Amino acid sequence: QYFSVTFLTGTPGVGKTTLGKELASRSGLKYVNVGDLAKEGQLYDGYDEEYDCPILDEDRVVDELENQMKEGGVIVDYHGCDFFPERWFHIVFVLRTDNSELYKRLETRGYNEKKLQDNIQCEIFQVLYEEAMASYKEEIVHQLASNKPEDLENNINQILKWIEQWIKDHSS
């Protein structure tokens, strides 16, 4: 049974994890956090001193996820998207958050000033949106506002409707 795969991306702090977990619990789809997966499997290739974080071993991450993606029924969460195979995802949602709100969220996380500024810049220059548009067919890439709790509720409902429609369209 072929089944839909949804991809949530965006700058760290925009709400991918919150949305992904809630979606999974309401839809029965499985939530996959690529950052956590890499951590558990130590799928790293060195350490980035400037950004103070491990460097993802992209090939090993892709190998690790391949079977699960073929099975489908998955919601994937990651703040990068240019290294996943294009065939994996049926729809891509880029979450977007206003600067002042994002700043507050990242400050709460205890990010240092450089990391804060880098992430805010990433959001201002819509790096993840551009990356998603360059990596997947434009018509499957959608932006969703993720500033307040009502947005979360709206986004869940919209994505659930999309998944339902996708399954209908592909079940014959």
Check if the beta carbon of residue 130 is closer than 8 Å to that of residue 80: no
The type of residue at 119 is N
The type of residue at 31 is Y
Using the rule CB under 6 A, which residue among 4, 119, 135, 146 binds ligand DAT? 146
**Cα-based distances in Å from 136 to 37, 69, 70, 169:** 23, 16, 17, 20
Secondary structure (3-state) at 170: coil
Smallest separation, CB 152 to ligand DAT (Å): 4
Q: Is 105 annotated as a binding residue?
A: no
Residue 31 or residue 136: which is nearer to ligand DAT going by CB? 31
Q: Which residue is nearest to ligand DAT (CB)?
A: 15
Binding residues for ligand DAT, rule CB under 6 A, total 15
Q: Is 114 annotated as a binding residue?
A: no
Q: Is 6 annotated as a binding residue?
A: no
Binding of ligand DAT by 13 (CB under 6 A): yes
Check if the beta carbon of residue 107 is closer than 8 Å to that of residue 56: no
Binding of ligand DAT by 15 (CB under 6 A): yes
Check if the beta carbon of residue 85 is closer than 8 Å to that of residue 17: no
- Strands in 91-96's sheet, in edge-to-edge order, are 30-33, 74-77, 5-9, 91-96, 141-145
Using the rule CB under 6 A, which residue among 100, 113, 149, 172 binds ligand DAT? 149
Please tell me what DSSP assigns to residue 124: H
Smallest separation, CB 160 to ligand DAT (Å): 16
Name which of 37, 61, 19 is nearest 159 in CA terms.
19
Using the rule CB under 6 A, which residue among 12, 29, 61, 132 binds ligand DAT? 12
Mark the segment that binds ligand DAT (CB under 6 A) among 6-14, 61-69, 117-125, 134-142. Answer: 6-14
Q: Is 60 annotated as a binding residue?
A: no
Binding site for ligand DAT (CB under 6 A): 10, 12-18, 105, 146-149, 151-152
| Residues of each annotated binding site for ATP | 13, 15-18, 109, 148
